[in-house]
């Protein structure tokens, strides 16, 4: 999340690293315009409003997520979660994990397919709105974490690697109430190169 000292905004919205229509048909241009330009941007704007003239005003976003609660936490985490989510997607993704991440996936889940099935079950079964994460501990062990609303594994001392957004605004335009179909389609746009780089930096 960038800081913008010229406009007076503490945090600014990251632009998509691809065109709005680049992830179709899995994610339509209309979905990305609403998800990125309305929902994500709305969380950033609300966060800037909430932290004005508070001790959080000068803090990095990750520190706010770790320390805050209530509306400040919710908007900070949602701003962070959305930037992270959009950056893991690609029009031309690396489709499987490689290297150290691939070894960790096999060690923990048995295979990439087994990992995907586990995350799909978590995402489809999560009641209401929320997030499902693949995360790592500092030793490189992998874990799947799910939680409602703005849940973020940073609060558990984990390193986020990959996430599935199961708020309805992430998929309802394209899939209506078919959350399972939306989750299954998302894997076609997950860039395992990006996920692997996150794992290497943990």
- Please tell me whether residue 100 adopts helix, strand or coil conformation: helix
As a whole number, mean pLDDT of residues 77-86 equals 98
Q: How big is the chain by its Cα radius of gyration, in Å?
A: 17
Scored b (16 or more CB within 10 A) or e, 98-133 reads eeebbebbeebbeebeebbebbbebbbebeeebbbb
What pLDDT does 172 receive?
Answer: 98
Rounded to an integer, the average pLDDT of 194-201 is 98
Over residues 159-174, the mean pLDDT reads: 98
Domains 29-87 and 99-200 share a fold: no
List the CATH code of the domain at 99-200: 3.55.40.20
CATH C-level class of 29-87: mainly alpha
Q: Is the pLDDT of residue 6 over 50?
A: no
Q: Is pLDDT of 2 > 90?
A: no
Mean pLDDT in residue range 172-179: 98
- φ/ψ (deg, to 5) at 75: -75, -35
What residue spans define the domains of the chain? 29-87, 99-200
Compute the average pLDDT of residues 49-72.
97
> Angle formed by the axes of helices 192-200 and 99-109, to 10°?
90
d(CA 86, CA 35): 10
Predicted local distance difference test score (pLDDT) of residue 1: 54
pLDDT digits 0-9 by tens, 91-106: 999 999 999 999 999 9
pLDDT digits (tens, 9 = 90+) for 15-32: 999 999 999 999 999 999
The pTM for the full model equals 0.95
The C-alpha atoms of residue 28 and residue 33 are separated, in whole angstroms, by: 9
How do residues 114-165 score in pLDDT, each as one tens digit?
Answer: 999 999 999 999 999 999 999 999 999 999 999 999 999 999 999 999 999 9
- Give the percent of the chain with pLDDT over 90: 95
């Amino acid at each position: 999340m960038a800081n913008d000292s010229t406009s007076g905004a503490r945090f600014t919205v990251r632009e998509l690293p691809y065109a709005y229509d680049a992830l179709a048909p899995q994610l339509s241009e209309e979905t990305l315009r609403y998800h990125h330009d309305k929902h994500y941007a709305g969380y950033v704007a609300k966060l800037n409003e909430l932290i004005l003239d508070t001790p959080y005003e000068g803090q990095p976003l990750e520190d706010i997520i770790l320390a805050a609660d209530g509306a400040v936490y919710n908007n900070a985490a949602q701003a962070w979660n959305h930037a992270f989510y959009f950056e893991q997607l690609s029009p031309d993704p690396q489709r499987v994990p490689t290297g150290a991440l691939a070894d960790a996936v096999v060690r923990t889940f048995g295979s990439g397919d087994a990992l995907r099935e586990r995350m799909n079950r978590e995402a489809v079964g999560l009641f209401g709105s929320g997030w499902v994460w693949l995360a790592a501990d500092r030793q490189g062990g992998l874990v799947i974490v799910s939680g409602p609303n703005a849940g973020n594994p940073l609060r558990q001392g984990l390193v986020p690697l990959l996430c599935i957004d199961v708020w309805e605004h992430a998929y309802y335009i394209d899939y209506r109430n078919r959350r399972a179909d939306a989750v299954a389609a998302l894997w076609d746009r997950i860039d395992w190169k990006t996920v692997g780089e996150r794992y290497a930096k943990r």
